[in-house]
Chains A and B, each alone.
Chain A
Amino acid sequence: MRSARPWLAPLLSALFLALLVGVWYLATYQPAAEATVDSEYAALVGQAASTGAKSAMPTPGEVGAKLWEHLSDPFYDRGTNDKGIGIQLLYSIGRVLLGFGLAALVAIPLGFVIGMSPLIYKALDPFIQVLKPVSPLAWMPLALYTIKDSGISAIFVIFICSLWPMLVNTAFGVAGVRRDWLNVARTLEVSRLRTAFQVILPAAAPTIMTGMRISIGIAWLVIVAAEMLVGGTGIGYFVWNEWNNLSIANIISAILFIGLIGMALDTLLARLARAVTYRE
């Protein structure tokens, strides 16, 4: 369905953005207040505290300035604990892709087996149902304790949380392949392996891709929390480090970047999903 006026939706989006920033500006606007304390004291505290108030939320202008600061120098490296936001994002993306890739390597073959054999499906079902709803972060202490390496623990948490949607979706897709197609393959005496690759895989591909899309979304959600826990590098560490400094402007910048990267990852998998979709 093609709209007669294709520019309308983007215009409306821009309007919403302007409205949001406007409300934000008004909510955080503070008229310049007189200092209520002597100058010696005022020099020792923040600007808000010197007028007897609590430090406030940053204004859109302050966040904009921070964003510009990050964008103009995203890849600086000033020591172990202070790296540019670009480097931090790359670390996070690397971890997500590694954990997600490992999960795909395990989940898709296993999902195939589960989907093709009702017996194994029934036998493994209780495990999947119990482990699936566990919050990924609940695995963290266990991972740290047994793996004894925080970097690998973070990847393990990504792995375990991206595993289930892919596993369940693959099994569902494989089990749901139309009987007729399988029967046709059997009549033509196609080998089991060939059936798996040439009939079942293309038929289940859209469902598998949906599972992968859900998984990468979850993985990207979890990496921030995992990195806040283990620290060191990554966008989650960046958020934690700026929280430590109570720098809300930096945290809002990070939220924006996290959202943008998440959108990019999702779009990428949506494209892939579209590539394998077929019409019946």
Chain B
Amino acid sequence: MSAFRNPFDHRVRLHRGGCACGRHASQAEHDHAEALEARQLQDRVVEGAVMRALFPQDEMRRGFLRAVGAGTALAAVSTLFPLGLAKEAFAQGAGALEKTKLKVGFIPITCATPIIMAHPLGFYSKYGLDVEVVKTAGWAVIRDKALAKEYDAAHMLSPMPLAISTGTGSNPIPWTAPAVENINGQAITLAMKHKDKRDPKDWKGFKFAVPFDYSMHNYLLRYYLAEHGLDPDRDVQIRSVPPPEMVANLRADNIDGFLAPDPVNQRAVYDGVGFIHTLSKEIWDGHPCCVFSASKEFVAQNPNTYHALLKSILDATAYARKAENRKEIAAAIAPANYLNQPVTVVEQVLTGTYADGLGNVKKDPNRIDFDPFPYDSFAVWILTQMKRWGQLKGEVDYAKVAKDVFLATDAARLMKELGMPAADPARPIVVMGKTFDPKQPAAYVDSFAIKRS
């Protein structure tokens, strides 16, 4: 900066080896001292904030310092509060991106809309990132590639980070879900031949497909069936089938129906193979489905990149939330590079004006919606269902796992920075008319008649 000093100021020295202020031997030394000063100033601010928080009354602080001396006081405060870490974190807050070239994996379904659209619509580049979005063949593969660090971050089903963190189905590795991708946007689709069997009580012996064992689809379908008196393990068969194979299997009569992510449901209608029995929002309006996720290690090692990435996702999600942008988004994500679907199929999913497969055009603008806030209560509900169906064994500290994995605080802070409306942490969860109390997870699990635990 000293190169830009005012040359018409008589106090400024431009030549003779020394620095601009004259107190240092060279310009480099001057700059170094200036940076150090700035850093010291910043550290002072952090220390000041901590001391003010510890000693609300200044008289007390001064008394304490007089009694024990500054050195002892600093040591004592440091044991109580990681001052060094706080300074480090504060200094990094405004720092540069650790990594700008990133790889983010996704599964070609409309749940991934914010992750995908951020690429063609430029939300990643807006925050200085060069992100490659990579289409991936299935949930197990995306999990393995994320675990193998081939991807920096990935699109996952919301129960997956919880399963990875608790070591269900793989070794436990601390994983995080800092943002929910979409809410609603799934449906139960049945084969055409069942168009007169709309009552779930007639579904005994049906074969259903869900995308993955650890998916909202699995838990919602099980919940729906159990509420109608069917035992999902004994009265019907539920298999995990990758989304692209679902329509083909429905066509070949291998399955009777599925609870699947879109555009699979709409695609079944488009191809005349099935009809939409019910939207998942009728089971739980506002349920989360997919999340944006990254390993705890990535978050810790690349805090600035992580924040920039999360901001671009939040920003894209906010854009996707507005109904007037949905057509543009559908056109941007339908091509072969992303979803590889006919535009009209994606458009029907995103706008909510859709053919139901039985000859009716239905309108439901909330068929899919985008709300990034990762409520702890979502995670707790998912954990209760993992427990209910025997995926989680033993005692579960619901609140702690939820807090560790769903990074609600980060999302709240960044959403505030982006000027997005704050989420209501006490938003109620009502699944098929039954209210869920996230503070009583164990009692909730016990309250079901059909369960495996």
Contacts and interface: CB of A to CB of B under 8 A. Distances in A.
A41 B359 contact: yes
Given A41-B360, A231-B136, A46 B336 contact: no
Contact of A246 (B148, B271, B357): B271
A116 B248 CA distance: 52
B252 to A, nearest CB: 11
B133 interface: yes
Interface stretch (B12-20, B338-346, B407-415): B338-346
B148 A149 contact: yes
Contacts of A79: 337
B137 A229 contact: yes
A149 B150 contact: yes
B272 to A, nearest CB: 3
Contact of B141 (A54, A80, A149, A230): A230
Contacts of B224: none
A64 interface: no
Interface in A125-142: none
A208 B361 CA distance: 65
Contacts of A230: 137, 141
Interface string A37-71: 10011011110110011110000000000000000
B271 A80 contact: no
B141 A231 contact: yes
Nearest to A232: B134
Interface in B170-205: 192
Contact of B247 (A80, A232, A240, A246): A246
Given A78-B337, A231-B137, A41 B271 contact: no
Contact of A243 (B132, B141, B248, B273): B248
A228 B355 contact: no
B310 interface: no
A237 B273 CA distance: 25
B348 interface: yes
Contact of B248 (A82, A232, A237, A246): A246
Contact of A150 (B150, B273, B338, B360): B150
The A interface is mostly helix, strand or loop, or mixed, namely loop
Interface string B330-371: 000001111011101000100001110101110000000000
Contact of A49 (B144, B247, B271): B271
A145 interface: yes
Contacts of A54: 192, 251, 271-273
Interface residues of B, number: 43
B271 A81 contact: no
A49 B272 CA distance: 4
Contacts of B248: 243, 246
A207 B114 CA distance: 57
Nearest to B251: A54
B270 interface: yes
Interface in A76-92: 78-82
A46 B272 contact: yes
B335 to A, nearest CB: 7
Given A228-B137, A232-B134, A145 B273 contact: no
A244 B141 CA distance: 16
B438 interface: no
B267 A246 contact: yes
In this complex, the member of A45, A46, A55 whose beta carbon has the largest number of chain B beta carbons within 10 angstroms is A45
B126 interface: no
Shortest 6 CB-CB distances between A and B: which pairs? A49-B272, A148-B148, A82-B337, A244-B244, A44-B355, A231-B137
Interface of B: 108, 132-137, 141, 144-145, 147-150, 192, 243-245, 247-248, 251, 267, 269-273, 335-338, 340-342, 344, 348, 353-355, 357, 359-361
Given A45-B355, A55-B270, 4 more contacts: A45-B269, A53-B272, A54-B192, A55-B271
